[in-house]
Amino acid sequence: MSEVVATMKVMPESVDVDLETLKEEIRSSMPEDAELHKIDEEPIAFGLVALIVMFIIQDAEGGTEPTEEAIGKLPNVGSVEVTNTTRLM
C-alpha cells in the first residue's frame, strides 16, 4: 500500500492560544497510523496564526479522518481543514 502526505491547517480559537502548547498537544494526539512530519506557522491576520501540520499516512479507506478528528477534539482548536494530499512515490 502506498503512503500519502497530507497537509492540514489548524486554526486556534483565538490569538491568546499558546501555539507551543498547542503544537505539543498535536504531537501527542496523533493517531498510531499517522506519522507527524512537521508543523509550521502561518500568519493569518490581526495576530492570529494558523498551524500547518504535515503528516504521512497509509493510502487506505478513511484517509485523514482519524487525524482530523483527533486534532479537532483538542482544547483551543477552532477548526481543522485538510488543504492538500499527495501520494508518495
Please report which confidence band the pLDDT of residue 62 belongs to, taking 50, 70 and 90 as the band edges. Answer: confident
Residues 73, 21: Cα–Cα separation, whole Å: 15
Q: Which amino acid, 55?
A: F
**Taking all residues of the chain, what is their mean pLDDT, rounded to a whole number?**
92
Q: What is the mean pLDDT of residues 13-42?
A: 94
pTM score over 0.75: yes
What does the pLDDT look like over 40-50, one tens digit per residue? 999 999 999 99
Q: How far is CA 41 from CA 22, 32, 33, 66, in A?
A: 12, 24, 24, 22
3-87 fold: Alpha-Beta Plaits (3.30.70)
Q: Could you state, in order of their start, the residue ranges of all structural domains in the chain?
A: 3-87
Total length of the chain: 89
Cell 499527495, residue? 86
H-type alpha helices, 1-89: 19-29, 65-72
What pLDDT, on a 0 to 100 scale, did the predictor assign at position 58?
Answer: 86
